[in-house]
Amino acid sequence: MRGINKIALPCHVSLLRQVELHVHLDGAIRVQTILDVAKRRRIPLPADTVEEMTQRIIVDKPGSLTEFLGKFAEYMHVIAGDGEAIRRVAYEFVEDKAKEGVVYVEVRYSPHFLANTQVDPIPWDQEEGDLSPDKVVQLVNQGLREGERAFRTKARSILCCMRHMPNWSMDVVELCKKYRHDGVVAIDLAGDESLNCEAYCGHKNAYQEAVRCGIHRTVHAGEAVEVLKAERVGHGYRTLEDPALYRQLLQQNMHFEMCPVSSKFTGACCPDFTKHPMITFRKDKANYSLNTDDPLIFNSTLHDDYRTALRFMGFTEEEFQRLNICSAQSCFLPDAEKRELLDSLYEAYGMIQSTAF
């Protein structure tokens, strides 16, 4: 994102209070933290400076989703299975979001990908240890809570099922149920979209159980919204290719979690931002948010996504405010807390509460 970085964000946008709903904790780790933890755990890495390690991890030209997902293998073995590291990553994440002006964030991750016991298979070639997916959720909750207290940015989490691991999904929904009053607000389905999720009844069963228990649901795939009874959709650009589905989702006021910078580097959209699907979503006054997805891997911040919308898609301050109000309305907080968040945005934007959105 170096090219875009040079352009200063106008003050009214850089000071905007924001809500972020789609960002992966394991795609938002500080490179320095990866280096520190590797050193403490004596895990050899191919680079020992932030600059060199950053070069190995980041994607700086458009590629495929599969290629992008391979980047996690550069560092996940360092963080996974280490309780102290996991708590630190969650805490620092809140600090980074607070610096960007985010007042509320929903951060997602797969507890299984960070565990080293009670997970089959144990990921990232780790030896078996004592960190279960349940313990991972406790540590992330703790880090987010401490971060929230220190930096005054509210943070909740979404637990991810992984497309290629349908046998983890029932576990994921059980963890959502167990921690629903302790920081966890929803379930997600993430991972390689080239795998057809409808074929896997593990995911379907987990989402059915989520519906039954009133656990909120988002999903990385527009086409699965119906099957999985999702309330929000991650990205969802391709729904534009199916006009009937798109119209139906607009009518339902479905929330789309848009990630423009990510969409370029994962090859989800054409790299020419002036032709980005978000322009159509905006024109149709769709319900959507602006998000980073994986800022570590794109070497980006939330400001880069706003800058992209401003510079290449003609977005205005009014639209940024509207989409953040939409984001707050579509967040997974309990009603009273959602009301509080909305009120704080109306106040920050100088809007009267009764303004119709």
Indicate which residues carry an active-site annotation. Answer: 223
106 binds Zn ion (CB under 5 A): no
The residue with tokens 């970085």 is: 5
Give the separation between CA 84 and CA 66, rounded to whole angstroms: 30
- Scan residues 198-257 and list those touching Zn ion (CB under 5 A): none
Q: How far is the CB of 165 from Zn ion (least distance, A)?
A: 16
Cβ neighbours, 10 Å, residue 106: 28
Nearer to Zn ion, 172 or 342 (CB): 172
Nearer to Zn ion, 9 or 189 (CB): 189
8 Å CB contact between 31 and 74: no
Sheet holding 154-162, edge to edge: 18-24, 102-109, 154-162, 184-190, 216-219, 232-234, 255-258, 287-290
Q: Pick from 20, 26, 293, 304: which binds Zn ion (CB under 5 A)?
A: 293
Q: Could you tell me which residues are beta bridge partners of residue 217?
A: 187
Q: How far is the CB of 184 from Zn ion (least distance, A)?
A: 17
188 binds Zn ion (CB under 5 A): no
Nearer to Zn ion, 157 or 321 (CB): 157
Give the separation between CA 76 and CA 29, rounded to whole angstroms: 10
**Residue 211 CA: distances (Å) to CA of 183, 186, 200, 284:** 19, 11, 17, 29
Q: Which stretch binds Zn ion (CB under 5 A): 92-100, 198-206, 292-300, 329-337?
A: 292-300
Q: How far is the CB of 107 from Zn ion (least distance, A)?
A: 11
Q: How far is the CB of 140 from Zn ion (least distance, A)?
A: 17
Q: What is the total count of residues that contact Zn ion (CB under 5 A)?
A: 1
Nearer to Zn ion, 37 or 162 (CB): 162
305 binds Zn ion (CB under 5 A): no
Q: Which stretch binds Zn ion (CB under 5 A): 3-11, 160-168, 289-297, 324-332?
A: 289-297
Q: Is the CA virtual torsion 209, 212, 217, 223 positive or negative?
A: positive
**Residue 249 CA: distances (Å) to CA of 153, 205, 223, 291:** 31, 23, 11, 20
Query: What is the contact surface with Zn ion in residues (CB under 5 A)?
Result: 293
